[in-house]
Structure 1
Amino acid sequence: MKHLMLLSFLTVFSISAKCQLDRNYWLVGGAGSFYTYNEQSVNTVTNMPVSGKLTEINITGNVGYFLFDKFAVGIRPGINSIKSHGANSASVLTEVTKIYVGPFARYYFLNKEKPFNILVDGSYQFGSLANFGKGTTQNASIMTGTELFFNNSVGLEFLLGYLYQKNIKDETQNAYKHIKKGFYVSIGFQIHLIKD
């Protein structure tokens, strides 16, 4: 019920608002996600099961520029933190921090006079595992959703997307490749600024 009331408030609040999606505007913003999940796997060398509860926090920012009306490109940095609490004797407490950056592009479909807009956003980031030995991370995502405008400069976006993530640890004694893919939800703010 609270979520429905909040969505209704945001919709009514943004009815008279519209946002600048014109060429030569800047787009600055960010989004975050938080989730916990249980993971089970088997060590292929010892055949021992490993399980744990994981907590993951992901924060991304973006700085973009509208090359054309309703079409922006830019750079999207991010940080991802995963903390694992082992659930059996083979599991251990692990913390992994990933730092990444890469390009993004987004397109708004509706007329800019609308109080909301439908958009599609694609991005690719490359980075490193910061505190878990030598390793790399890669993210590729495609998202779609809506941005509700509070005024002509600020919008709140709700996006649903598909994420492909690959993490590779390069150390010879404990090397691994971990691939994660699936759907996710992102909520964030965007600020539309005119170029001086």
Structure 2
Amino acid sequence: MKINTLFFLLALAFSMPTNAQITKNNWLVGGDVAFSYSKTKPESTVDSQSFTINLTPNVGYFFLDKLALGTRAEYTLSRYKSDSGTSKFDRFLISPFARYYLLNIDKMVNPFLESSYRFSLINENNSREFSAKGGVAIFLNNSVAFEASLIYFNSTSNNTYVGNHTLLLGFGIQVHLEKL
């Protein structure tokens, strides 16, 4: 019975109109917090655990219906602990992004795709970073959306031994401001 109710509510949410402000000449302001945690299995040769949190306020502009371009400031905090010691790192980045909403502008639940290229505010071994994000925006009204997303970060540098692939689970709020 619960699965039928959940299916009905999801179908209703995907079909309800809201007239969200994801149209040309509107603004997108908000941010999200994302995190990941990993721990090795007890039978592993190295006992380790890691934690990453990413805070990202953003601002964007809809140049076309459903397509926003913008920038975000990112703060990343990572902690790693293993048998050989601990390490931590904090970084500040600027990231231009492109976001595209997949469904019509009148949907209350609207999946989106986003991509960005991240620049460090402090030169960190000439790293190059790319992120891809996929998620769903749930519009609470025509201007405010709650978001849940999966975020993939790919980081490389000129040092062939330094690189990182990270998958984060993110939650955020976006405010879609109508053109003035």
The bucket for the TM-score relative to the shorter chain is 0.7 to 0.9
Unaligned runs of 5+ in 1: 40-48, 169-174
1:160 Cα deviation from its structure 2 partner: 2.9
1:188 Cα deviation from its structure 2 partner: 1.4
* RMSD between superposed Cα atoms in Å: 3.2
> Can you list the C-alpha shifts for 1:63-112, whole angstroms capped at 9, x where unaligned?
100011111101121011112233x2xx2232210111121001112221
* Structure 2 CA distance for partners of 1:79 and 1:125, relative to 1, 3 Å: same
Task: State the identity as a percent.
Answer: 31
Matched, 1:103 2:96: yes
TM-score by length of 2: 0.77
Name the counterpart of 1:77: 73
* Structure 2 CA distance for partners of 1:53 and 1:160, relative to 1, 3 Å: closer
Name the counterpart of 2:23: 22
> Can you list the C-alpha shifts for 1:44-75, whole angstroms capped at 9, x where unaligned?
xxxxx975322211111211000111111011
Q: How does 1:17-166 map to 2 (within 5 A)?
A: 17-38=18-39, 52-86=48-82, 88=83, 91-128=84-121, 135-166=125-156
The residue matched to 1:111 in structure 2 has which SS? coil
Query: Which structure's CA Rg is the greater one?
Result: 1
Q: How far apart are the structure 1 equivalents of 2:24 and 2:171?
A: 25
The residue matched to 2:162 in structure 1 has which SS? strand
Q: How far apart are the structure 1 equivalents of 2:47 and 2:119?
A: 28
* Structure 2 CA distance for partners of 1:185 and 1:103, relative to 1, 3 Å: same
The residue matched to 1:151 in structure 2 has which SS? coil
Q: How far apart are the structure 2 equivalents of 1:57 and 1:82?
A: 7
Name the counterpart of 2:176: 192
Q: How far apart are the structure 1 equivalents of 2:79 and 2:91?
A: 12
1:177 Cα deviation from its structure 2 partner: 4.3
TM-score by length of 1: 0.72
Assess if the C-alpha contact under 8 Å between 1:128 and 1:137 holds in 2. Answer: no
Q: How far apart are the structure 2 equivalents of 1:38 and 1:128?
A: 30
* Structure 2 CA distance for partners of 1:123 and 1:149, relative to 1, 3 Å: same
Assess if the C-alpha contact under 8 Å between 1:129 and 1:135 holds in 2. Answer: no
The residue matched to 1:93 in structure 2 has which SS? strand
